[in-house]
Every structure is written in structure tokens, then in C-alpha cells.
Amino acid sequence: MDDPSLLTFTVEAREEGEAILLAVSPSDGSPVRSYRIDGPGPEAFLAFFDALHADFGTRPPHRTDPIEHYPAPPWRPLISDNLSPRILSGYGDPAVFRTADGWWLVATSNDAPDAFPILQSTDLLHWSLRGFVFEQGKTPDWTASGRHVGDFWAPEIARVGGEYWLSYTARAADRTLSIGLARAAHPAGPWHDNGAPLLTGAMIDSHVHVEPDGTPWLIWKKDSNSLWPRPLAGLLRARPELIARLFESEEDRRTAAFCAAVQPFANTRRPMERFFLMQPLIRAALARWRHVRAALHASGVADEIVAHMETPILAQALSADGRALVGERHQLLANDLDWEGHLVEGPFLTRQEGRYFLFYAGNDFTSPSYGIGYAVADRITGPYRKAAEPLLRSHPDWSAPGHASVSVGTDGAPRLFFHAFHPGTGGYNVFRALLSVGLRFRGETVELVP
């Protein structure tokens, strides 16, 4: 080992009902510590990592990350609290779409019994719940559903020909993140699913864009960032000497050592619990992202892990009936700017003044590092030229703005609609508010306006 003094851990885990009991043994001979994670929710895991930080000096949870003070953007909240007890986690990944009878909103529902709330407004100020895309018991047969089982994410509506199409992410029965498509004669539904996914294999965040000639395109993200954390933890478990090469601070070295030790148990858990258990390792890696990637590449034993640290946004034309992808597949973007960290996601394409503007989110959605960027191209397939810095980022008023859609405001001018967390909050199944800000397009530049 490069550093024989590096602290490592042994973790023993067992279940007690919905709770997880962990016994953590440090290699320095200090007493074994016992922990109880009370249930599968994010707050239970945050409390556990608070305690682990206090006992062993690992990285504390994301809520301790500082947020820079700067003049607030001209954004405004549209829905800042819950409008129905059937909506369990707010309005994440919001897609706003305007028709002759007002604005329609669909949003992520995660594992709520009713999938994808549908809301309507005639003024963008007052919203009413009009139903759900898939009510409890009516989710498509190919999807996994139910509390702590299903994950219904990122629905988006587009008008294609004489009907509305809704693309969305769900877990297939084999727990693989997949992209589906449903259709309806009206945004309120009823919605009828294709009956099978369009794409499977860690694919998420789909968006249907319709070209001026009526050709529909699907734009989506390959969820590569979900594929490297546990393999990295497994590599560090087998090769603990790599920890000192990847991580500089003692805090992050201890974090990596714990995640390496808990990795075999994490492999047995449902997908979101795997994410919770690996999240400290993700954040430690993000703190030295370029160095971690370079050091893993130099190790010669982590080529597949390094490959998964690039998350591409892809595009391909859809068949006229919306049941298949046709033609060539194109990569539009990947994470290559420092602020984007380990991912870009949540793409939304809009055509303005003859150019294509692709809005996207980057970094860790649970932390204040998350933000919204954009890129511009002259053709739908690119090449896309990115703005160097995020268009929207965390502020003490609102944290982690992300996953935007573009529609128009009451004045007919373009507006960006996106989610954000209330200050001091963040994470899976944590309430996300709906916010909006005006857009002005000047050449290849996007400006924010009230």
C-alpha cells in the first residue's frame, strides 16, 4: 500500500424489518460502532452519514455544502408548496407545455402510487391538479411500480401531428432504467402507453423534439453515472492502495474506505439505496474530478469505470408512429466542463431564431453544485457549442436549479421552467418547487430576464 496508515473498515450488515443495522469496525483497533438506518428514505441515510462523520471523520452529507452569495437571478417561484397529498415530492423535472386552454405541467413522481401528476394553469400563477398520467394500479405492464420499488421520472409532452406524445423514464421489471412513450388526444389524458419501452439499459431523461417539417426526434441521456460508483468502490476494496492516489484529504480517504467496505452490501439493495450508500464516494470523487479520472486511467485497471464517467446526451429520429427509433444515432453533448462534474442530463431542445438551443443540467442533483447550462448549434445533430459557465446555479434563496423545459409566458415571450430545492434541503423524494425565468436569445447567447 502507498500509505500503510490508511484507515480501512469492515462492515457487517443485517436487516430488521425495513431498518438496516450496520456494525462498522475500523482497522485502527478503536471500538466497533453500531448504526441503525430507519427505513429506505433519504433522510434516514443522511442521519446515518451524519453519525458516521461524527465518529470516523468521513465526508458529511451534502446539506453542509456552502452556497455562494451573489445577486439573485430574476427567477420567480410558481409552485412552492404541495398542492395535493397525492403528490409526494413536488414538481421535479418539470415539463411545461402551452395549448389553447392554458399551460400544462407534468413532473417526476418517483415511487408515488400515482405516476406523473398533471396540472393546469390559465395564468401561470394558479394551478389545479387534473389527474395523473398513470393512476395507481394503471401503470404499464412493462414497468416496476409501488412504494420503494418504482421510479417514474422526467415526463415530457410534445404535440406530434394530431395527438400528444409523452416520453418518460421508468424502471422495467428487471429494474433497468428505460424510456417509454404514451399518447393521448388531450394533455389531460387518458394516456395510452406503447406497451413496451423505446430504449432500455440505463437510459433516462427523454425529450421529444419536433422539427419544422414534423419529424419527431428523441433526445435522451445515457445514465452512465449510475454505472461507475459501485464498481469503483469494489476496485478500492480490492486495491485499497488506490485510495491514497485518488483522494487527497483524510476525510475523503476515509469516505472512500467506508464505501469500499459497504459495497458488497450495497450490491444487494434496491437501486436508490445503492445510490444513497455510494453518494459520499460520488461527492468525494467530484471534489477532485479531473484528478480522479486521470489517476484511474493511469492505474491501467479501471478503463471501464473511466468510460462510464462520461455521460452522453444522444439524439435519434423517431418513426412516424412513435414506436421505434430510426436512422443514425448522434451524440450531442457529454460532460467536459468542470462545473458539470460527473454528468449532464435533463436535455431540452428549443429552436430559436434559426438556431438550436439545448438546455441541460449538470453535476449532482442532490447538492448545491447542480445547475443549468446550455449549448447552441446550427443543426439538430450539432456540433453544439457550450456556454462556459452555468446559466443558473444555486443561490441562498433556491438550491440546485435543474432539468428545465422551455415554453412561453403570458406575454408570449420564451420562458425557462425548472425545479429547485428550498434552502438547506435536497435529495431523492425531497420536495422540489417549480420556478420560472424569462429568456432572451441574442445570437448564440442566452440572457435571463424577469
Assigned domain for 211 exists: yes
Average pLDDT, the chain: 96
pLDDT tens-digit map of 343-387: 999 999 999 999 999 999 999 998 899 999 999 999 999 999 999
- Count of domains observed in the chain: 2
Residues in Cβ contact with 419 at an 8 Å cutoff, skipping those fewer than 6 apart: 90, 91, 92, 93, 94, 107, 401, 402, 403, 432, 433, 434, 435
One domain for residues 290 and 420: no
Contact (CB, 8 A) for 221 and 347: yes
Cβ neighbours around 357 below 10 Å, total: 21
CATH code of the domain in which 343 resides: 2.115.10.20
pLDDT of residue 62: 72
Burial 119-155 (b: 16+ CB within 10 A, else e): bbbeebeebeeebbbbeeeebbebbbbeeeebbbbbb
Give the neighbor-by-neighbor strand order of the sheet with 216-222. Answer: 203-210, 216-222, 313-318, 325-333
pLDDT of residue 3: 58
One domain for residues 156 and 233: no
One domain for residues 336 and 248: no
Last residue of a domain, one of 308, 334, 357: 308
Last residue of a domain, one of 284, 308, 332: 308
Q: For the chain, how long is the longest CA-to-CA vector?
A: 70
One domain for residues 102 and 198: yes
Q: How many residues in the chain?
A: 450
Assigned domain for 70 exists: no
Average pLDDT over residues 277-289: 96
Per the rule left: phi > 0, alpha: psi between -120 and 50, beta: everything else, 160 is beta
- pLDDT above 60: residue 2: no
Last residue of a domain, one of 289, 308, 327: 308
pTM: 0.96
Beta strands in 211-324 (DSSP E): 216-222, 313-318
Alpha-carbon distance of 403 to 214, in angstroms, equals 25
One domain for residues 235 and 217: no
Query: Which range of residues forms the domain containing residue 40?
Result: 9-65+226-308
Average pLDDT over residues 26-52: 95
Cβ neighbours around 86 below 10 Å, total: 16
Distance of CA 34 to the CA centre of its chain: 32
> Cell digits for 419?
425545479
pLDDT of residue 1: 41
pLDDT of residue 4: 53
Assigned domain for 147 exists: yes
One domain for residues 277 and 366: no
- For residue 297, what is the enclosing H or E element? helix 289-299
One domain for residues 200 and 269: no
pLDDT of residue 61: 85
One domain for residues 375 and 272: no
- pLDDT above 90: residue 63: no
Assigned domain for 394 exists: yes
pLDDT tens-digit map of 4-29: 568 999 999 999 999 999 999 999 99
Assigned domain for 71 exists: no
pLDDT tens-digit map of 388-406: 999 999 999 999 999 999 9
Assigned domain for 261 exists: yes
pLDDT of residue 65: 73
pLDDT tens-digit map of 183-237: 999 999 999 999 999 999 999 999 999 999 999 999 999 999 999 999 999 999 9
